[in-house]
Structure 1
Amino acid sequence: MKNQEFTNNNQHYRQLEENMQKEFHQLLCENQPLFKVALTDDLWLHYLESLELSSRQQYNCSCCKAFIRKYGDLVILTEDGQIKSALWHPETVPDYFKAAVTQLKKVVEASSIKTVFYSDQRQLGTPFSGERSHLSLMLPKHYVSKSALKTANQLMAEKKAEFQLFEATLHMYSRDSVSIMKTLIDSGALYRSERFIGMISWFDEAQQVILKEKDALVRERLMWRYIAKAKTGYCHLKNSMIGTLLDDYQEGINTDELIRRYNDKMDPSQYMRAQSAPTEGALIEAEKLVEKLGIIDALDRRFARLDEIPEFIWRSPEKKVEKQKMGLFSGIIPKIPKVKIIDWPITTMTWKKFSETLLPQVNKIEARVDDTNRLMSLVTENIPDSKSIFQWDNPFSWYYHGGVDGEIKRRVQEAGGRYEENDIRCSLIWENRTDLDLHCLTPAGKHIFYNRKRETNGWLDVDMNVRGETMYPVENIR
């Protein structure tokens, strides 16, 4: 009879495992963040004491005990700030375990959030030990921490610290201040403000949702929900350029001065650049960091070669060097006839005519560059197949100096063109009174240029130097 009872209970136990895993994965299919709660009681004792006295010893397992104590407190948060246990669902478990699972669910859902959950491995718990199976779960791949610098425990501790900072920041800035600064950032009046649109929009929404909630417990849970979904750095808004902007606004600084102070701080020669030489210790730590990230090879960069660029309008022809037979008098320099210089008249030539009539015959092109600060360089990996350090799928990148992107934005906007909020924008600047023209061939085969400024969704909205009117021209197609 005892063997039969053990077999039946063991069957119930397998059903408990299967149902727990099924419910858990259904929750995670919704891409819900996981959280840990702050428990004051031992979950394992609640579990064990809710089982029948006669069979407690059978389930007093060290593997299951470790699992329940470490992962039994996992929960999700609903959009309205309600806690739901991620593991314990009494409505789907065998009758034998209903009392125990109901108690676990009750204790977990009555607790407050402790932190966002992170894991260094997919397997939670020990699935098998000897001939017995145990409570365990397999996380989907995208739930496993990808950080090469911090452990899961360090990330969870970091989120706890971010909660304190985020809570203080929520109450530091008024709703009017945040709303007005969001409008200013969206307007594009600030230099490179597009990089902060996501942060200010996230904070603006979080304030609206969280601060209107009257229940303090629900408000706290909503804060955790926003923290879990925040991109890196969003919770540190107070210490960012957005925080500086909000501080200045709340001090009563007028808009013109506000923009000037912001742009000064965002000056490419100053922003995010060290103002003093690093210490020896900092250099050693930086070496360790890039080694840990596995990007040492990727940081070895070189100039890209012409043969690596897939398409050219024109390239210089390859010269075939032929060995010439030297004559008896080849070392004697002959008399060079004088060349008559013809004063050719200046004529206007379109790019179409230039590319079709001259380029095919050209062996060499030289260009005079008045301002070398406007030059950009295309660089790529020096060691093939290095670990990617970019958000795109190829190893090419570029670098420049002199704030050329800020200059483009200034010229486009002063000329009445649209710099931001375009699917694609192409801008051309140069430094003299020459009349250069910007052309675009659309995917539909339409040609946008000075004589046909609008085609389908494209528009040449700035066209300059038709009469050589400025030394600082720009053209803009969007």
Structure 2
Amino acid sequence: MGDFQQFVADVTRRLSAMSESELYVVGDHLDRDSIWLTFLDSFPAGTNPRFRERSEYDCSTCRGFIKNVGNVVEIRDGRIRTVWSGVSAADPVFSVVAAALDAFVRTLPLTGVFRTAEAQYGARTTRTLRDGRVETWHHLHGRVAKRHRTTDVGTARGTFDSAVRVFERGLAELTPQALDTVVDLIDGDALYRGTEHRRAVTEFRTLQHRWTRAADRRAFVFANAANPAARFRNTVIGTLVQDLSEGVDLERAVRSFETKVAPQNYKRPTALITPAMVKAAMRTIDELGIEESLERRFARLSDVSVTDVLWVDNDTQPRMKDGLEGLLMRAATSRPSTARARDGKPEEIPVVAFMKDVLPGAATIDLWVANSHEPHFVSLTTGRHPAAPRLFTWDNDFAWSYGGNVTDSIKERVKRAGGNVTGKLRVSLSWFNHDDLDLHVFEPNGDHIWYREKRNKLDVDMNAGGAFSREPVENVTWTGIIPDGEYRIEVNQYNKRESNDVGFVIETESNGRIEHYSHDRAVGHKDTVEVGRMTVTNEVITDFRPGSDMQSGSTGKDLWGITTEQFVPVSTVMYSPNYFDGNEVGNRHYFFMLKGCVNDQPTRGIYNEFLRGDLQPHRKVFEVLGDRTKCEPTPDQLSGLGFSSTVRNSVLAKVTMTGGRRRLLSIQF
């Protein structure tokens, strides 16, 4: 009938050996009853004498052991092994019993970690008195190692179950691509405090790779649930990987992460890119043969054909690409204007009429450069290799960059952000980094316009949360009745996030007139700057008194080699390059290149909004390229003032016609 004592000894040794590592349980309470029935039914015919009053191995003591320990398993080499595995292999009866128990238990699902308050299950022996004789009975028994014992079984099991759930979700939901991207960001030092989290990311990535190759994934999860990396999904770096896995934009996901790890201190001066993004962009660059096209510089007069300009000064034209012949050919097809100037004040003239009727007959042009024109300072750029393929959506290699490395006006930025720029009165705030500046306007009656009380006037509030912009604006526009009186304007730093590209510009527009007031220093966290007080009469700004820390257009200052608040000679007048050679791509800009105007700052030669369509998928890489490959200042550059066709503005011009007559014109854009 088999050697039961040997079977007991084998099971006890097996349980003791298993207890050196973590133990788990399979099945539920009903399954435990089934294990006991499997034990009883597994004996070969005739080997379990149930006809007896009691048998040595079907007593309540053995039943308690099997129901409490029979479903305990270990995970070794990625596979589940039970307490019955390999027990009594030499015994013909109990080897069959052990094999049956082992096979049944391995069909049950893993359900948790083994924890108990008991030090031992079963008993080695019990004794009974029968017919005056003491009988000794042997039973299944085993001690529980201390590492598996606890006084709070429920909490221990619950903690493990939670770890399993988090681990399984992380393995299933976090994509390998997102993990690789985060490692690339950390290795490229593009993630604030990223090195602190590199080990966690790489350890989880390794676990995920092993999980995908595991023969029993559930067993793998249980075996590794105690690893600190198992809770990776619920860590701060794990939320970044989760966002990327769900398709959140890289910039937005990283901003969210960096806000969590250091909401006041991080800085992100350029777009985020990874080695994989660079490789993809480089493949496109190689396929299109445009590597030389990425080398940019300031454009010179000798680069520009006279066919690309609307007017050129006589002293300037010999240095242009086509020289005198091109200039004469243009002159042969134009006629001078016969318009007369008004006495005593400038003659207002639309820019289209100025180009058509005044330029052809102009001998010299001088432009009044006001302080308020500072945002309109512009430079023309071009490629270092004229024969290289084009980068942009138009058929030439020229581009432009306004002061501060922007391509358009504050008003245009407000429009792109969805703000209203067509009201009777407008006050707009523009800044240059990821700080959260807030515009506050106090009306004469005391009404306070700000992000909490927009009063149907504040319609753009950027960098407050979610996606961040490096061209943020806020905008307040009056479309209805505008009360007369004094308006107080303030800017508050709600959340300081960066220490680079500091300062801000306020733009006011009233009755078609645009003015600018700038603050060139950082605004401290929660600090408020008084921009100024403006007086409005009959819905028009009649006075503006800037705050003590604001700069306005009254006293001349040196900008780009010229002094503002005076007339400056014009060398050439041209459209923006997207309108050269018959192109008509996007908004038209009017450029007045000024003599002696020299941009002394490195300037971007590549902007994403200029790129041709097949380069758009690599916008983030090109944003970095534009920032890293700026044009270095040169003395013979083409720089001056630029005005967009989409923005109402004006500039005063003093024009001497070819016949000697002088005209004072207010050119209206």
- TM-score surpassing 0.5? no
Specify which structure has the higher proportion of strand: 2
Specify which structure has the higher proportion of helix: 1
TM-score by length of 1: 0.45
Greater CA radius of gyration, 1 or 2?
2
Structure number with higher relative contact order (C-alpha < 8 Å, ≥ 6 residues apart): 2
